[in-house]
Amino acid sequence: MKKLVSGITALLLALSAIPSAHAAFVIGGENGWQLSTDGIVDIFSHYRSTTQAPAGHPLALLGDNDQRFGVTVGLLPSVVALNVKAPTVNGIESNVRVGIYPSLQNNTNDGTGKRTRLDTDSNIDFREFFYTAKGSFGEVLAGRALNLYQGKNILTDMTLLGVGVVPGSVGSTTLGHIAYGYLYTNFGPQFRYTTPDMGGVKVALSVAEPYKISADSAKTNVPRIESEISYATKLGNGATVQGWLSGLFQTDTRSTAAGIARAGGHNKSLGGAAGIGVGFKGIDLLTSGYYGEGLGMVSVQDGDLGARGLTSVDASGKERTHWGFLAQATYMLTPDVKLGVNYGQTRQEKNDGDNGLLKKKQEAAVAMVSYNFNKFTQLVAEYTYAQDTWHDDTTNHSNIVSIGTMFYW
């Protein structure tokens, strides 16, 4: 089951070529063409109890004095994916992947974060639609796929296949440790090149569509550049080692409209992220983190989310400094039972003009147990404690209990 989950996760998040060996159904066509499918159905029940948010403080991400039970997808939506493999020509293997990610809960449409019984909009998300060409030269990817920067930070989080933090208004998914240990890298259109495996080392570089760094951005006429160096190996004693380093750089031009601070000036997003993990005899230890400026507190390049409460830049148009980390330990108690704990933070530093109402940090701890019912069905239970803290030391916290199942094919 562990091997199956790892393979499907790699497929879902598009960090490598499509390994058709992991697909559940493979249909052969003429002249070497193949069609395969894979996917996940996941559904979780969760109960969340949240304290009173401090008055006048922007964006209480956890909610405000609320108790709620929900039945939703987890951090991952459900997935239905189709893979097309072309005949290998001149040593080049070509693939196309289409990933459709529906959420199974009723849609939120009443403006309060509460779900309505009759609105069954499934929030279908075409996150993946890309083509890859792989050969002795490495791999080229063109299309919509998971971005590189902080991609492995989310891939290695155990709550990727669970729930983690449940925000006050649940959208299409829960958060896992997004905004509570790393930033959401998002899926985006890009051109990417990855080198061949060089003794466990791979280097990737992508040229991608730029994002607005601030709500005051007017021109995004420079591409976003992302890179990643990764290493993975198995040692002779059965131990495993992995590590990575990723980076992001982008600039944009601020509006020249009346009343805009630093009108016509430039903002930049500059960030680095890294992680290392080791495993031996069922124990896996992991730590990851990031640091940069102009990044935000939830997803990479938040713009001005939450009335400038979790923003890439301050009211004067200057970039804020952002950083965070995640520490994790898991243990395979039996071939079918896995235990895990992790803790993470995201943090935002004040600039000279900021006051105590600015969000300071978001932190969460998760305890998890999973059971492999069979080779394609997994049961997961979690307890999560999350807390938001502002720079005047006021807080808002939440307790979350969840249990659910994931079915793979």
**DSSP letter string over 371-383?**
EEEETTEEEEEEE
What is residue 107's predicted lDDT score, i.e. its pLDDT?
66
> Residue 24's CB: how many other CB atoms inside 10 A?
13
Q: Which of 48, 47, 54, 49 is nearest to 396 (CA)?
A: 54
Q: Strands 187-194 and 217-219, how do they pair?
A: unpaired
CB-count burial class (<10 Å; 0-12, 13-18, 19+) for 324: buried
What is residue 337's predicted lDDT score, i.e. its pLDDT?
97
Mean pLDDT of 128-134: 96
What is residue 65's predicted lDDT score, i.e. its pLDDT?
85
What is residue 111's predicted lDDT score, i.e. its pLDDT?
52
H or E stretch at 369: strand 359-374
In a domain, 97, yes or no: no
CB-count burial class (<10 Å; 0-12, 13-18, 19+) for 176: buried
- pLDDT-based confidence at 120, cuts 50/70/90? low
CB 377 within 8 A of CB 400: no
In a domain, 127, yes or no: no
- pLDDT-based confidence at 169, cuts 50/70/90? confident
Dihedral (Cα; 11, 14, 20, 21), 10-degree rounding? -50
Distance CA 149, CA 249 (A): 10
Tell me the pLDDT tens digit for each residue of 235-269: 988 899 999 999 999 999 999 999 888 999 999 99
What is residue 15's predicted lDDT score, i.e. its pLDDT?
35
In a domain, 2, yes or no: no
Q: What are the φ and ψ backbone dihedral angles of 19, each rounded to 5 degrees? A: -85, 95
> Could you list the residue range(s) of the whole structural domain that residue 282 is in?
43-74+146-408
Residue 333 scores a pLDDT above 60: yes
- pLDDT-based confidence at 117, cuts 50/70/90? low
In a domain, 194, yes or no: yes
CB-count burial class (<10 Å; 0-12, 13-18, 19+) for 285: middle
Mean pLDDT of 154-162: 96
In a domain, 263, yes or no: yes
Average pLDDT of the chain, as a whole number: 87
What is residue 18's predicted lDDT score, i.e. its pLDDT?
31
In a domain, 4, yes or no: no
In a domain, 239, yes or no: yes
Paired with 376 in beta bridges are none
What is residue 121's predicted lDDT score, i.e. its pLDDT?
57
Residue 334 scores a pLDDT above 60: yes
- pLDDT-based confidence at 365, cuts 50/70/90? very high
Residue 304 scores a pLDDT above 80: no
Query: Which amino acid, residue 354?
Result: D
Q: Which of 328, 402, 387 is nearest to 174 (CA)?
A: 402
- pLDDT-based confidence at 20, cuts 50/70/90? very low
DSSP designation for 3: H
Helical residues (DSSP H) of 231-361, grouped into ranges: 305-308
Residue 25 scores a pLDDT above 70: no
Q: Which of 176, 174, 135 is nearest to 154 (CA)?
A: 176
Residue 179 scores a pLDDT above 70: yes
CB 275 within 8 A of CB 286: yes
Our CA angle for 181, 5, 158, nearest 5°, is 20
CB-count burial class (<10 Å; 0-12, 13-18, 19+) for 251: middle
**Which of the residue ranges 52-61, 101-110, 161-170 would you say has the lowest mean pLDDT?**
101-110
What is residue 237's predicted lDDT score, i.e. its pLDDT?
85
H or E stretch at 153: helix 151-155
Distance CA 153, CA 58 (A): 27
- Give the three-class secondary structure for 35: strand
Q: Who has greater pLDDT, 332 or 30?
A: 332
CB 196 within 8 A of CB 133: no
In a domain, 122, yes or no: no
DSSP designation for 195: P
CB 275 within 8 A of CB 153: yes
Half-sphere exposure of 266 (CA within 13 A, CB side): 9
Number of domains forming the structure of the chain: 1
Query: Which amino acid, residue 402?
Result: S
Largest CA distance in the chain: 67
Mean pLDDT of 160-166: 95
Residue 313 scores a pLDDT above 90: no
Tell me the pLDDT tens digit for each residue of 68-105: 898 999 999 899 999 999 999 999 999 999 999 988 88
- pLDDT-based confidence at 2, cuts 50/70/90? very low
H or E stretch at 206: strand 201-208
Distance CA 75, CA 146 (A): 15
Q: What is the CATH number of the domain that holds 158?
A: 2.40.160
